[in-house]
Structure 1
Amino acid sequence: MTDPNTETQLSHRQTTESKVDEVTKFERDYVPPNFTVKEIRQAIPPHCFERNTLKSASYIVKDLAVIAVLVYAATFIDTHLPQTLRFIAWLVYWFFCGAFATGIWVIAHECGHQAFSPSKFINNTVGFILHSALLVPYHSWRITHSKHHKFTGHIEKDQVFVPKTRKALGLIEKDEHEDGTSIYEETPIVSLFMLILQQLFGWPLYLIFNASGQKYKNRWANHFNPSSPIFEPKHYNDIIISDIGIIIALSAIYYFSYVYSFITVVKYYLIPYLVVNHWLVLITYLQHTDPKLPHYRKHWDFVRGAACTVDRHFGFLDSIFHRISSTHVAHHYFSTMPHYHAEEATIHLKKVLGSYYIFDDTPIFKALWRSYNQCRFIEDEGDIIFYKN
């Protein structure tokens, strides 16, 4: 008589081996795209590239109006609601205020790409004000984010969510262990804890310590030091201006803490700020971290790099986030395109890219857990490589 447990284990092993074989075949047979930017651009209607300052500004007005209403409504929570409903009301406030502030963040990010207006002065002025209010050093991040767009998917030149190699993580060689990972890394509770840290504090850690960015031997790379290795000498004044913006924002936080109390600032601003951090890290992480996405040591070009991007839906949050996630492939090919044209452009873009256009409809938090656990490292050798776990 056959042991049911043995049959179950055998079936699980066969399923796992089948998945491994399927992944291996996909990676082995992967052929990089050979389109040109011109071919892709010609497929998109010319009006999609037009920037309208007033139309762009209307989205700021809408987002700020909603945030203002939320803040005003929140002033009644502790004085007009019973104790049992207060925490729920604050949760609602933090969620929606953080979501609409993320929309503001996205528009400020468009300013950095010069997609808000045809005027460089307007772009940089609006972007500086909005990003500084969200504790983002505008020019500093604009510069490194531009490098990310120029070198997406390039292992040595991309600027964020740069994959770590097996050797860098100190993992054993792949022929000594089934998958070369540590037992601690496979513990779900540890993965969950690290994932929460990433989601809440990954953004400030990136700004201050260049976490997930390129490594510079014996040099501290951060977004506040004009002499940081991630900048060039010509960027010096821009970094100083960005730092001044952060100092002004922090001074405002201190002032309101002094006038209204620090707890009040925590409830009205700092917790929504953490929510913004969460959405920002979640969106950007899932845009460029997926088992289906290659990374290049050789054979890289801009078109291939821009294809190392995944479009995803965030449900009703898509409109609040100005569809930054559901149209991110188009954004990477044409970063000066305003967000309100990107959805139409994506329809035409997909026709040219074909199978190289990647859309993943996995529920967002399931996709996050999958990517975090399946995209741990890349091998130290190879020209076109994929994530391993």
Structure 2
Amino acid sequence: MGASDDMKLLDRVPTSKPPFEYNDLKKAIPPHCFEKKLFRSLYAISIEILIMFTLYYVASNYFHILPRFLSCVVWPVYWIFQGVMLVRSWTTGHECGHHSFCGYGWLDDTIGYLLHTFILTPYFSFKFSHANHHSHTNSLEYDETHIPKRKSHRLYYEVMNNPIGWMFTILLHITLAYPLYLICNYGGRKYKGLASHFYPQSPIFKNSQRRKVFVSDVGIFIVLYAYYRVVMTQGATWAFYVYGGPWIFMCVIVTIITYLQHNHPSIPHYDSTEWNWIRGALSTIDRDIGFTIIKNKTDNHVVHHLFPSIPRYHAHEATEAIKPILAIANCNTMAVAKFNPETNSNITWLMAASLGEKNSSKLIENLPNIGGKEKKAVGMRGKQ
């Protein structure tokens, strides 16, 4: 099936004003979904740390006695499993930045700082830039990440817009995009001056935030020095096998997950004349990637953008609660919508193509009263 045929299977997300209010979504979610449970969160993180330590202990104490051919198999397996656990640490630190971990601001920041610093992510710096992303999701001018290239971007459209350029871009993006984003704002919003998560005077941050950016840098420096001492005593090869491999795998997975949650041919980006917060939040994507251990991070992303303070263990229930209301606007949290948008030159789509209307029967189902009126909506399609 050709590319044009594939595109006909997609309908763009509706860009008109949704026929519901933000409070309608909030009221649909059971109140307990907003509650953070301290001991439940601490128990979960304790299990994560125990698993990481167990993996490290087994790898560092037993892998070296295995036959060489078997060692070549078990080390990559270790990188994958430990890398997934580092993704869990990244996710927990991210939740701490939203204060959805336990509800105590100082404890959220302390735990998030320790977790993110260990995986070389400047906690407060990322917390501040990520808050900007949530405040301006899918804005062409002000979103922090996942901003589509315009045709005026000559390097991309005239030099890289070919099979070799695509392969280079994909390889660079998957392997180095996350650390390069932190270091030099690769793929991020355009700023005047040096934009870096490690530079306290970076235009990314407000004046009131710069002191905490410096605190993040101090933590990263301490961890890097500790890694340097490990390399000096244990050797660079050992350090790479035990930590470097899992860390690289973590960067790859974080990049892939965040890319999939914000990019799809049906998803629009808005300029300043069209963008508003609810439009941006509804233009995110839930993805079921199958990894149970990071499942609540990937397949409840829309509700996370709408209500970032909801803890991950309530995210699925909250997602199910708002689906009937989102269906009123034909807005499927799995990135599929049902009708074509109005013509508007100020709305940019991931792919410049004519998306045909899908010829298929649509399930009509009764929905709860919203605003005192009976609503009906198109049933939502399955997961991506």
SS in 2 for 1:321: helix
1:149 counterpart = 2:112:
no
1:38 corresponds to: 23
| Aligned residues between the structures | 342
Q: Counterparts in 2 of 1:106-185, with a 5 A limit?
A: 106-170=91-155, 181-182=157-158, 185=161
Native 8 Å contact 1:77 1:89 kept in 2 = no
1:347 counterpart = 2:310:
no
Native 8 Å contact 2:289 2:295 kept in 1 = no
1:358 corresponds to: 333
1:215 counterpart = 2:190:
yes
Q: Counterparts in 2 of 1:182-197, with a 5 A limit?
A: 182=158, 185-187=161-163, 189-197=164-172
Q: Counterparts in 2 of 1:1-389, with a 5 A limit?
A: 26=12, 30-170=15-155, 181-182=157-158, 185-187=161-163, 189-217=164-192, 219-297=193-271, 298-315=273-290, 317=291, 319-354=292-327, 355-359=330-334, 382-388=345-351
2:64 & 2:200 partners in 1: Cα distance? 47
Native 8 Å contact 1:106 1:322 kept in 2 = no
Moved over 4 A (4+): 15-23, 181-184
1:26 & 1:72 partners in 2: Cα distance? 49
Q: 1:233 to 1:281 in 2, by over 3 A?
A: same
Q: 1:34 to 1:247 in 2, by over 3 A?
A: farther
TM-score by length of 1: 0.83
1:3 corresponds to: none
Native 8 Å contact 2:159 2:165 kept in 1 = no
Note the C-alpha offset of 1:356: 1.2
Native 8 Å contact 1:77 1:90 kept in 2 = no
SS in 1 for 2:348: strand
Root-mean-square deviation (Å) = 2.2
1:178 corresponds to: none
Higher fraction of helix: 1
1:106 & 1:144 partners in 2: Cα distance? 16
Query: Once the two structures are superposed, what CA deviation does each residue of 1:215-263 show, in whole Å capped at 9, x if it has no partner?
Result: 124x111111111111111111111101011011101101111221121
Gapped runs of 5+ residues in structure 1? 1-11, 172-180, 362-380
Note the C-alpha offset of 1:349: 1.5
Which of 1 and 2 has higher RCO (CA within 8 Å, sep 6+)?
2
2:119 & 2:234 partners in 1: Cα distance? 19
Native 8 Å contact 1:144 1:159 kept in 2 = yes
Q: 1:20 to 1:94 in 2, by over 3 A?
A: closer
Native 8 Å contact 1:159 1:214 kept in 2 = yes
Note the C-alpha offset of 1:323: 1.4
1:143 & 1:117 partners in 2: Cα distance? 19
Native 8 Å contact 1:311 1:358 kept in 2 = yes
2:324 & 2:239 partners in 1: Cα distance? 48
Q: 1:74 to 1:39 in 2, by over 3 A?
A: same
Native 8 Å contact 1:44 1:345 kept in 2 = yes
Native 8 Å contact 1:105 1:134 kept in 2 = yes
Letter in 1 for 2:121: V
Native 8 Å contact 2:180 2:186 kept in 1 = yes
Native 8 Å contact 1:154 1:300 kept in 2 = yes
Query: Once the two structures are superposed, what CA deviation does each residue of 1:130-185 show, in whole Å capped at 9, x if it has no partner?
Result: 000010000000000001011101111110111121102357xxxxxxxxx55853
SS in 2 for 1:285: helix
Note the C-alpha offset of 1:32: 4.3
Native 8 Å contact 1:34 1:304 kept in 2 = no
2:78 & 2:7 partners in 1: Cα distance? 44
SS in 2 for 1:75: helix
Q: 1:220 to 1:252 in 2, by over 3 A?
A: same
Identity %: 33
Note the C-alpha offset of 1:200: 1.4
2:317 & 2:201 partners in 1: Cα distance? 41
Note the C-alpha offset of 1:125: 0.5
